[in-house]
């Protein structure tokens, strides 16, 4: 009997849980998805029900296997990828959550962060974690739960509580409480891990008042973490790969070496550039993060986030009523030859990297009597490319400063990458090819690939690199002078979002 070669990816996202069955060639065999509730207790707070996440994820795994027409025994390994920074604390004995999951978008820990910054501790955290002090990351969320839930600190000091990001929470339940672990890419987002040594850092734990007893073990991203309980899916399966969603997408795009970069076009945009084994601190508004690590060798990436990417299309639909469905935006934008001098900066929630202007607010500039809703729609689409171009330019400056070369191509994925107009404009602004792969579910593919490596389905990174296939390459057609002039117009518009 031949060994099983199918791989099951559990893709636990911010608004839904998905499961995808891949074949050995990286092709999608079957997929299942379930949305779950978003909980907003007060302004700035965002929570999820951890049990709802677990039950929805398990249900999609069963559904995907059924759709694929295969048994659990046909799965060689499971890979997990997850919304990063979202924080869960649970009872080690019962597996019950102590509090709702505090989601990565949640801002309640900002007072803690402000206090740490006022004490001049930003350089300490930056040097050890590669991150800035921000409520985005999970360590300050964990501190909030320990400080605000009755009896939490006492239970934690007795060793009665477990902390984890969503990967750890799922692994705990998949293994019946046998495994309390995480991978380096998720651990690197906590403000608690020294990413140079991949170990929890005593000084950082003390600064955030986090007891070591609650923390999971940290392993490489491709590693056999444990085995699922047989009764859950019909067979006991190895969990062989784990990575946070953006690092998993970088891996799924076969960006295994320094200088390769990907951009995920979702609600926001997340751009990561692999920097190899080199810990590189950005001087251009980016953060340093651990890449998915197939072995115990440290690997890093520079990361930048655009807060409003595809969400600008949702605003055109729901806020402006300019379109009835998001799919209509390309044809509306293509009904005019260009944006007619209109610039749209969608700073609805401030501006992320490389600007970091929390106070910025959205602006549409360059309006004339000749401006139509089509021009605004085109400017909205182009804003996604402008923001991403600013990010890649910042990455290029960092790469050159570190003795490397600028990025020579950008690999793209995420829902909005199917928009040909947007991808062509992106290539024109950047002056380099924009490459769209055949499989754009690269986040799930990355987790499956990591799982396939640990269980021997794949021989190594070379095989995975050969398997990655291009669907279309967008080559720049605009003159560099025109592209630079447009970027200068964009930067002028950005300055107006914070004008007094």
Domain boundaries, the chain: 6-246
The top-scoring range by mean pLDDT among 198-212, 262-276, 342-356 is 198-212
Torsion 335-384-293-396 (CA) sign: positive
Q: How do residues 437-483 score in pLDDT, each as one tens digit? A: 998 889 999 999 999 999 999 999 999 999 999 999 999 999 999 99
pLDDT of residue 354: 85
Q: In the predicted model, what is the mean pLDDT of residues 116-145?
A: 93
pLDDT of residue 465: 93
Confidence bin at 361 (pLDDT 50/70/90):
confident
| pLDDT at residue 261 greater than cutoff 80 | yes
Confidence bin at 17 (pLDDT 50/70/90):
very high
Q: 391 with 354: CB under 8 angstroms? A: yes
pLDDT of residue 253: 95
Which of the two residues, 194 and 421, has the higher pLDDT score?
A: 194
Architecture of the structural domain at 6-246: 2-Layer Sandwich (3.30)
pLDDT of residue 499: 64
pLDDT of residue 96: 95
User: Distance (Å, rounded) from C-alpha 235 to C-alpha 484?
Assistant: 57
pLDDT of residue 440: 86
pTM of the model: 0.90
The phi and psi torsions of 364 (rounded to 5 degrees) equal -120, 115
Tell how strand 434-437 and strand 47-48 pair up.
unpaired
User: Distance (Å, rounded) from C-alpha 244 to C-alpha 251?
Assistant: 11
Confidence bin at 53 (pLDDT 50/70/90):
very high
User: Distance (Å, rounded) from C-alpha 302 to C-alpha 412?
Assistant: 16
User: Distance (Å, rounded) from C-alpha 255 to C-alpha 469?
Assistant: 13
Residues 6 or more apart in contact with residue 94 via CB below 8 angstroms: none
Kind and range of the H or E run holding 436:
strand 434-437
Confidence bin at 49 (pLDDT 50/70/90):
very high
C-beta neighbour count of 440 within 10 angstroms: 20
* Residue whose entry in the numeric block shows the structure tokens 């890649």: 392
pLDDT of residue 95: 94
Range from 117-126, 143-152, 260-269, 346-355 carrying the lowest mean pLDDT:
346-355
User: Distance (Å, rounded) from C-alpha 254 to C-alpha 445?
Assistant: 10
- Tokens read off for 359: 């106070």
DSSP string of 321-360, one letter each residue? ---SSGGGHHHHHHTSSS-TT-EEE--BTBB-TTT-BTT-
Counts for the chain of helices (H) and strands (E), in that order: 17, 23
| pLDDT at residue 500 greater than cutoff 60 | no
Half-sphere exposure of 79 (CA within 13 A, CB side): 37
| pLDDT at residue 46 greater than cutoff 50 | yes
User: Distance (Å, rounded) from C-alpha 402 to C-alpha 217?
Assistant: 32
| pLDDT at residue 26 greater than cutoff 70 | yes
| pLDDT at residue 1 greater than cutoff 50 | no
| pLDDT at residue 2 greater than cutoff 80 | no
State percent of the chain over pLDDT 70. Answer: 99
Whether residue 282 is preceded by a cis peptide bond, meaning omega within 30 degrees of 0, is no
């Amino acid at each position: 009997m031949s060994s099983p070669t199918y791989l099951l990816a559990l893709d636990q996202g911010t608004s839904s849980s998905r499961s995808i069955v891949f074949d050995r060639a990286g092709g999608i065999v079957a997929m299942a998805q379930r949305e779950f509730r978003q909980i907003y207790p007060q302004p700035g707070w965002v929570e999820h029900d951890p049990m709802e996440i677990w039950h929805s994820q398990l249900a999609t795994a069963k559904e995907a296997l059924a759709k694929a027409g295969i048994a659990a025994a046909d799965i060689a390994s499971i890979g997990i990828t997850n919304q990063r920074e979202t924080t869960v604390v649970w009872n080690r004995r019962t597996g019950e959550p102590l509090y709702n999951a505090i989601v990565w978008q949640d801002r309640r820990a900002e007072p803690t962060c402000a206090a740490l910054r006022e004490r001049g501790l930003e350089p300490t955290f930056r040097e050890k974690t590669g991150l800035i002090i921000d409520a985005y990351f999970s360590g300050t969320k964990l501190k909030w739960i320990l400080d605000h839930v009755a009896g939490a600190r006492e239970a934690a000091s007795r060793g009665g509580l477990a902390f984890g990001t969503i990967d750890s929470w799922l692994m705990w339940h998949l293994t019946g409480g046998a495994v309390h672990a995480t991978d380096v890419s998720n651990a690197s987002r906590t403000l608690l891990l020294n990413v140079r040594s991949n170990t929890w850092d005593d000084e950082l734990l003390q600064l955030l008042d986090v007891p070591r007893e609650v923390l999971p073990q940290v392993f490489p991203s491709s590693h056999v973490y444990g085995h699922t309980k047989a009764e859950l899916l019909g067979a006991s399966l190895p969990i062989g790969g784990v990575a946070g969603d953006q690092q998993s997408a970088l891996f799924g795009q076969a960006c295994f070496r320094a200088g390769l970069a990907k951009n995920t076009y979702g609600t926001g945009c997340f751009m990561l550039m692999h920097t190899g084994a080199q810990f590189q601190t950005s001087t251009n508004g980016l953060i340093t993060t651990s890449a998915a690590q197939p072995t115990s060798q440290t690997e890093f990436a520079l990361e930048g986030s655009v807060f409003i990417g595809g969400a600008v299309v949702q605003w055109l639909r729901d806020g402006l009523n300019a379109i009835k469905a998001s799919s209509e935006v390309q044809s509306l934008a293509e009904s005019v030859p260009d944006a007619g001098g209109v610039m749209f900066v969608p700073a609805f929630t401030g501006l992320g990297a490389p600007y970091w202007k929390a106070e910025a607010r959205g602006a549409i500039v360059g309006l004339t009597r000749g401006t139509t809703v089509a021009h605004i729609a085109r400017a909205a689409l182009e804003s996604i490319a402008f923001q991403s171009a600013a990010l890649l330019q910042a990455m290029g400056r960092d790469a050159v400063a570190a003795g490397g070369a600028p990025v020579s191509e950008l690999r793209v994925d995420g829902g909005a990458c199917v928009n040909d107009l947007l991808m062509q404009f992106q290539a024109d602004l950047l002056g380099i090819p924009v490459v769209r792969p055949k499989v754009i579910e690269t986040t799930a593919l990355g987790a499956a690939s990591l799982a396939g490596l640990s269980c021997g389905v794949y021989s190594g990174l070379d095989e995975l690199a050969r398997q990655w296939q291009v669907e279309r390459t967008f080559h720049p057609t605009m003159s560099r002078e025109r592209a630079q002039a447009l970027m200068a117009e964009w930067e002028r518009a950005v300055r107006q979002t914070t004008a007094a």
